[in-house]
Structure 1
Amino acid sequence: MGIKSSRTKKLRKLEKKKNAIIEEQLQQDQLQEEKEIKLLLTGTGDSGKSTFVKQIQILFKEGFNEDDQKAHKQVIRANLVFHMKALIRAAEELNISLLKENQIIAEEFLDLPSVSKGEIPDDVVDDIKKLWKDPGLKKAFEKRSDFQIPDSSSYFLDRIDEIMKVDYLPSQEDILRCRIPTTGVKVLSFDLEGYPWKIVDVGGQRSERRKWIHQFDNVTVLIYVVALSEFDQKLYEDESVNRMRESLALFEKTVNNPTFKNKNCILLFNKRDLFEEKIKQVDLSICWKDYNGGLNYDKASEFIKKKFESVGKSKSKSKSKSKSNRKIISQFTCATDTNNIKNFFKSITKTVIDSHSKTTL
């Protein structure tokens, strides 16, 4: 009887000690979470969110190691075939003729199987090089707003000889330009100005957006990325929908979620460089009929900025009796430019830390 009682006391003591350790760990986790700055990165697909996260990897982490390079190498090589198929199909749909000697090559190219582990046969590489020189496919690429292909595809197709070398490893710029759609949720933690930061990148495709709600808790600042250059392009998922109009509708829905009523929001107007070139030739009125600023970068960019800022400000006052304390900060960026993103972080760091301090008071 005495032995059993002694064992029971020991077990209770051990259990109490375990519970104390668990409780202490939970308290530490809570303190860490309270100190942590959480940035929620949202936006439609192909707006440049993932490129922005890659820049954080470069600026505040260790950059890209050899495993990262090898993984991107496979994607970059596979995309050479994918992009060429997209161009051939686009030329057909746009009724653009290829040189006679390339017509059979193009037809057979469409029947090629998917590339495995970035391994492309030499004869296929030769075909890609021949086809990429074809004036018809060059013309098709110039009309890329009419079909789905990344702007960076020409960057890689121009460098196919280097990419197919046995010892090729992607450069930092190659990795930044490599398009890999985000699926699920990607989280990157880093330290800045004595604070632990966490950026959460959520997939922008329509099928991914239902997962966003699970990341809304404890957000310090909402970052919404808009691709400026997509004002004349159609959505991947629905080619009857203009990409920028979709982005505006999604921003309105996201920023006016009650969770973000008093959360500051940063609007990142990305792909500034591509927009600056496109607006010289394509009028913004193709997206919004009420635009009348002509082929002018300053007028067009300001018009877009006001469109997005207005939907974030008006709703916050109309749906609630209490006035929102939210600020909307707009920045024009080029996510592939490391210095540009570095300067962006310099400009917003104090604002983000101040926002964090107010929520933890």
Structure 2
Amino acid sequence: MTPATWDGAPGDAAAISKKIDEQLANDGKALEKIIKLLLLGPAESGKSTVLKQIRIIHLNGFTAGDLGEQRPLVFKNVTDAVTELWKAVQLLNYTVLLETKAMMPGLLEELKTINFVICDTFPASPYAKIKQMWNDPAMKMAYDHRSNTNVMDSTKFFLDAIDRISAPSGYTPTVADVLHLRQVTIGVSEMQYTYKDLEFRIFDVGGQKTERRKWIHVFDNVTALFFIAAISEYDQYLSEEDASASLTNMKVKEVEGRRALTRLDDALFLFRWIGNNDLFTKVQIILFLNKKDIFAEKISKIPLTVCFSSYKEKNDYKNATEYIQKRFEAQIRNKNKMIYTHLTCATDTDQVQFLLNSVTDMIIAENFKQTGVI
């Protein structure tokens, strides 16, 4: 394995980009005009967020109308956040304030009756109750200890923004809101865009266990694949049902001395299967170790040993991320294959734009080599 980690040096990226521009000007006709990219990874790893970022960067982003269409989905995310947070409090057996305990059953019933499709803003009655609920210390504790619950990572983002989302004057989602939305990808989503006069087709394939059997149908003629793994999920466990439904057919068993699979285990097994697939022998692999911001918050509270008992270094961001990177890159049997690894926060447009441009230049350069141009 020859790992390659981009450290984000703008000067290097600019130099590479300039060289690519020159090559395209001279030899562009020799390069394959349509470049096919895949976005693969487990559910909730951030694939769809990366696809949204590509839309922002290369396809003029979201119009006011596009953003407005996302309003009901934002309201659903808020409702889901409230519902799952309350379930988590009960599961963790936290003691809530008496007024919260008295209020929650009525709030949950009220949320079920609202037709959010016709709402211009989040309704005032549940808004006041949600704000009260989110101010309960037990709710914050449940969010911080959400590992074995279905509480979304974006819960804090949306509940912190409840004043804005419930503004009496009306609410239009922001781009940040859209990037934080949780929405399950079913089937295959395709996006086409142009970069440096070349046409790119990128496919986002549903990461749910039941969707993985469909992946093989989009594996032909791929130039490069982006594998997205949420490193923040190192402490979140799969149920036995989820583990059994995995494409890798991994059932819950002893993994580093524990009777469970974490979501990060699942990502590792999936990366091994993808990275060693014969269809991808000549395909460039870009590994995004995503949700680094959430990981940075967690690692100070929850040791990496809950996932990797063999981890012996300091429980800090630098050492832990380096270890995770090595574990992923070790999954590839061909030790001469380049794996381009990046720590990412998919909701950070500036970082994603820089990385995508740099990685795309690398993909084009490699395509030049394969076509014999350079």
Counterpart selection for 1:127 from 113, 126, 129 = 129
SS at match of 2:72: helix
- Runs of 5+ in structure 1 lacking a partner? 1-30, 318-324
Distance 1:178 1:188 in 2: 19
Match of 1:343 in 2: 354
Structure with bigger gyration radius: 1
| TM-score between both structures, scaled by the size of structure 2 | 0.81
Match of 2:367 in 1: 356
Distance 2:213 2:115 in 1: 31
Correspondence 1:1-361 to 2 at 5 A? 34-112=32-110, 113=112, 115-118=114-117, 119=119, 121-165=123-167, 166-235=169-238, 238=242, 240-312=260-332, 314=333, 316=334, 326-360=337-371
Amino acid at match of 2:204: D
Amino acid at match of 1:125: Y
> Is the 1:102–1:131 Cα contact (8 Å) retained in structure 2?
yes
> Is the 2:124–2:166 Cα contact (8 Å) retained in structure 1?
no
Amino acid at match of 2:147: S
Amino acid at match of 1:57: R
Amino acid at match of 2:352: I
Distance 1:360 1:213 in 2: 25
Q: What per-residue deviation string (whole Å, max 9, x for no partner) do you get for residues 11-31 of structure 1?
A: xxxxxxxxxxxxxxxxxxxx9
Amino acid at match of 2:187: G
Higher relative contact order (CA 8 A, sep 6+): 2
Q: What per-residue deviation string (whole Å, max 9, x for no partner) do you get for residues 208-259 of structure 1?
A: 1111111101110011011111111123763853100000001111111110
Q: How many residues align?
A: 322
Distance 2:366 2:223 in 1: 7
Q: What per-residue deviation string (whole Å, max 9, x for no partner) do you get for residues 54-92 of structure 1?
A: 111111111101232122211111221211111111111
Distance 1:116 1:358 in 2: 56
> Is the 2:209–2:242 Cα contact (8 Å) retained in structure 1?
no
Distance 1:257 1:335 in 2: 26
In angstroms, what is the RMSD of aligned CA positions? Answer: 2.2
- Deviation of residue 114 (structure 1)? 6.2
Q: What per-residue deviation string (whole Å, max 9, x for no partner) do you get for residues 295-331 of structure 1?
A: 121111111111111112x2x47xxxxxxx6421111
SS at match of 1:46: coil
- Runs of 5+ in structure 2 lacking a partner? 1-28, 244-259
Identical-residue share of aligned pairs (%): 38
Distance 1:352 1:311 in 2: 22
| TM-score between both structures, scaled by the size of structure 1 | 0.84
> Is the 2:300–2:316 Cα contact (8 Å) retained in structure 1?
yes
Is the alpha carbon distance of 1:114 and 1:186 closer, same or farther for their aligned partners in structure 2, counting shifts above 3 Å? Answer: farther
